């Protein structure tokens, strides 16, 4: 991945830097993380995340990494851009992350069905 200006490599993403530091803090190799995630995250994929070649992994991948590296899932979600840090909320308003934390191993079809259902629920409120 280049920066588009003079074909120099783009700097690692904020997520990539965070993941690399977390992995180094627990003194794990890329292959050890692959094993710890039950091979859900290959060492090659993690290397691409750390280098910034991949910047938007799925929440499922982030969850596997959070449990394997012992870092907060919401911190990874924030670094990947899924959660806006310090976003203003009204009193009593919930963020809506419960589904993200509770659902694991969704297929693309299941995820699409859930999104359709959520759209339906929200349309009934109006």
Q: Assess contact for 37 and 65: CB atoms under 8 A.
A: yes
Identify whether 94 is part of a domain. no
Whether 24 is covered by a domain: the verdict is yes
Let me know if residue 5 belongs to a domain: no
Model pLDDT, residue 32: 96
pLDDT tens, position by position, 11-27 = 557 899 999 999 999 99
Does 32 reside within a domain?
yes
What mean pLDDT is predicted for residues 106-126?
74
Q: Is 118 contained in some domain?
A: no
CATH number at residue 63: 1.10.260.40
CA 103 – CA 106 distance, rounded (Å): 7
Domain limits at 33? 14-79
- Tens digit of each residue's pLDDT (9 = 90 or more) over 69-109: 999 888 898 889 887 666 554 444 444 544 554 455 566 67
pTM listed for this prediction: 0.61
Q: How far is CA 40 from CA 20, 26, 86, in A?
A: 17, 19, 30
Domain count, the chain: 1
């Amino acid at each position: 991945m280049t920066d588009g200006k003079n074909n120099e490599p783009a700097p690692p993403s904020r997520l990539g830097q965070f993941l690399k530091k977390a992995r180094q803090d627990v003194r794990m190799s890329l292959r050890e993380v692959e094993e710890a995630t039950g091979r859900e995250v290959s060492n090659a994929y993690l290397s691409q995340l750390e280098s910034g070649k991949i910047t938007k992994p799925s929440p499922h991948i982030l969850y596997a990494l959070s449990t394997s590296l012992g870092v907060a899932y919401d911190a990874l979600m924030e670094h990947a851009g899924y959660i806006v840090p310090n976003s203003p909320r009204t009193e009593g308003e919930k963020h809506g992350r419960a589904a993200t934390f509770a659902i694991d191993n969704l297929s693309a079809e299941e995820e699409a069905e859930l999104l359709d259902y959520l759209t339906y629920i929200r349309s009934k409120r109006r």
